[in-house]
Amino acid sequence: MDKKVNRRNFIMTTASAATGIAGLSILPNVGLSKSRTLTEGIHIIGPKEGFSPQVGTLLSMMTWMRNVVVLGVENMKTTELDYLHDSTSNTIGAMLLHLAATERQYQIKTFEWDIDFKGDGKINWDAAMRLGDKGRKYIKGYSLDYYLTILNETRLTTMNEFKKRDDNWLSKVDSAGFQNMPTNNYCKWFHVCEHESNHNGQIKWIKSRLPGAKPGND
């Protein structure tokens, strides 16, 4: 993965991928002049063109939450992404990669892919999923563009797969899902969204404790 991915190209690529999805944007309008095509509709939760009604609604919630996460880390430097508050904490960079790893895990589970979660070795998915000691050891030294690119690529894969599926797929029940209880795909993917909300709070907490950080309301 190229650590020097141009931020402008990154956002424009995302916008192009969302063309024809009724104003749906994955990321905020960062570093660009204001454009209705990039931001219009971000606060409209509901069906989206190109997706079945409930799948589109789910995706609109995931998009809104991702927007919040990305805005929260805008312009962060590698030293800030690598900041470790104490010996048992996770870094902001590690948590960003963890969000992508979680999404990848649910792709494999719900899209029924017959592939190894660890992939081809280009990304340390195992460390990203486990965090803790492994995350502290391996996930450091990367730029913000590195993390955003992985998040973007992972989300684009989800979008492409969602286009192939309908509301019946969302309703499909795993008899022994969360807590070994019946769990449908809708719940599993809502968890991906909720999971980002949870870690967004942690990211804000760590960000407010960076050396030199100004007092905030988070």
Domain residue extents for the chain: 44-207
Q: Could you give the 3-state DSSP secondary structure of residue 160? A: helix
Confidence at residue 40, expressed as pLDDT on a 0 to 100 scale: 52
Mean pLDDT by 10 residues, the chain (218 residues): 44 41 44 37 92 96 97 96 94 97 95 75 89 95 97 97 97 95 97 96 94 72
Handedness of CA 130, 135, 138, 140 (dihedral sign): positive
pLDDT at residue number 131: 95
Do 58 and 48 meet the contact criterion of CB atoms below 8 Å apart? no
- pTM for the complete prediction? 0.81
137 burial type by CB count under 10 A (0-12 exposed, 13-18 middle, 19+ buried)? exposed
Those residues whose C-beta lies under 8 Å from the C-beta of residue 82, and which sit 6 or more positions away, are 91, 93, 140, 141
The one-letter amino acid code at 185 reads N
Q: Which CATH code, of 3.40.50.150, 3.50.50.60, 1.20.120.450, 1.10.10.1800, is assigned to 44-207?
A: 1.20.120.450
Residues 180, 176: Cα–Cα separation, whole Å:
4
Percent share of the chain, pLDDT over 90 = 71
Q: Are 69 and 202 in contact (CB under 8 A)?
A: no
